[in-house]
């Protein structure tokens, strides 16, 4: 089932499976490459913490069956998304994984991006961009689950076995960005808060600024209104969907 939410500019797909296919990044003219690089260099000048690392972009997303999506992907680097600010150029949509981590009373963890990130102060679910596979590896459903679990433990300190995470919904929103949202088992609130505090402390002890600098627990989209700062476009619909299922 696909649900379109015009007020959020978002599509939600109920899926059980994703079929993945690698394609090449679309070619760029020399002038588009130069303009992209200028935009990227200015962004890095404004935020030296930006890193032009490898990521996966979504080349195409289509429904193959009622509960199956076909996703074509291309390996790019973060500077590819600078094309969004180049007139006449087209950037492939980003592809990311995130995790709904509930607590036992039905609330959901949401987290705030730190000032050192590309989206300072934004509230979202724990997660991050999909990374391309290494040598002799493939990007498949188990790899995506593994990346979602890794984001959860790195950002929030919660270690969930891969078999306990299940693909819950796929979103397509701002700039066509595609999010694969996984659902984790509920945990006691005290466990969640302690894990996050320990993860933040460990990052700062290593001399790093944590990617997420605050968490809170919300029960409904109305709870998000009180949060200062921007919110990911998928956040309110995801929170609403979980509240309806609890």
pLDDT tens digit sequence for 171-217: 998 789 999 999 999 999 999 999 999 999 999 999 888 999 999 99
Token pair belonging to 144: 């995506």
Helix (H) or strand (E) holding 235: helix 235-245
Q: Quick check: 180 and 18 in contact, CB under 8 A?
A: yes
For position 118, what pLDDT does the model report?
78
In order along its 246 residues, the chain shows pLDDT tens digits of 667 666 567 899 888 899 999 999 999 999 999 999 999 999 999 888 888 999 999 999 998 888 899 999 999 999 999 999 999 999 999 999 999 999 999 999 999 999 888 788 999 999 999 999 988 899 999 999 999 999 999 999 999 999 999 999 999 987 899 999 999 999 999 999 999 999 999 999 998 889 999 999 999 999 999 999 999 999 999 999 999 988
Per-residue confidence (pLDDT) for residue 6, from 0 to 100: 63
- Would you state the pLDDT for residue 182? 97
Centre a 10 Å sphere on the Cβ of residue 52 and count the other Cβ atoms it contains.
13
Q: What is the mean pLDDT of the chain?
A: 93
Contact 155, 98 (CB under 8 A): no
pLDDT digits (tens, 9 = 90+) for 115-128: 888 788 999 999 99
Q: Tell me the C-alpha to C-alpha distance, in Å, between residue 1 and each of 16, 63, 170.
A: 11, 10, 11
Task: Give residue 154's pLDDT.
Answer: 94
Domain interval for residue 219: 2-245
CA 64 to chain centre: 23
**Which pairing describes strands 17-22 and 68-77: parallel, antiparallel, or unpaired?**
parallel
CATH code, 107: 3.90.79.10
Q: What's the structural domain count of the chain?
A: 1
Burial class (CB in 10 A: 0-12, 13-18, 19+), 226: exposed
Exposure of 239 by Cβ count < 10 A (0-12 exposed, 13-18 middle, 19+ buried)? buried
């Amino acid at each position: 089932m696909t649900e379109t939410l015009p007020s959020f500019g978002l599509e939600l797909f109920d899926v059980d499976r994703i079929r993945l296919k690698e394609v090449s990044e679309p070619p760029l003219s020399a002038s588009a490459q130069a303009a992209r690089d200028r935009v990227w260099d200015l962004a890095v000048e404004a935020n030296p913490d930006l890193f032009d690392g490898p990521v996966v972009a979504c080349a195409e997303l289509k429904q193959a069956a009622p509960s199956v999506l076909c996703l074509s992907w291309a390996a790019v680097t973060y500077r590819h998304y600078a094309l969004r600010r180049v007139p006449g150029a087209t950037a492939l949509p980003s592809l990311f994984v995130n995790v709904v981590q509930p607590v036992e009373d039905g609330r959901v963890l949401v987290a705030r991006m730190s000032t050192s990130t590309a989206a300072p102060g934004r509230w979202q679910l724990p997660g991050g961009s999909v990374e391309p596979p290494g040598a002799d590896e493939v990007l498949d459903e188990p790899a995506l689950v593994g990346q979602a679990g890794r984001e959860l433990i790195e950002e929030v300190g919660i270690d969930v076995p891969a078999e306990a995470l299940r693909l819950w919904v796929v979103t397509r929103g701002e700039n066509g960005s595609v999010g694969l949202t996984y659902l984790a088992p509920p945990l006691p609130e005290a466990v969640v808060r302690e894990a996050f505090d320990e993860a933040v402390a460990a990052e700062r002890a290593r001399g790093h600024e944590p990617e997420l600098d605050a968490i809170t627990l919300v029960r409904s989209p109305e709870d998000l209104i009180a949060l200062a700062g921007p919110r990911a476009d998928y956040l309110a619909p995801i929170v609403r969907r979980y509240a309806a299922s609890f």
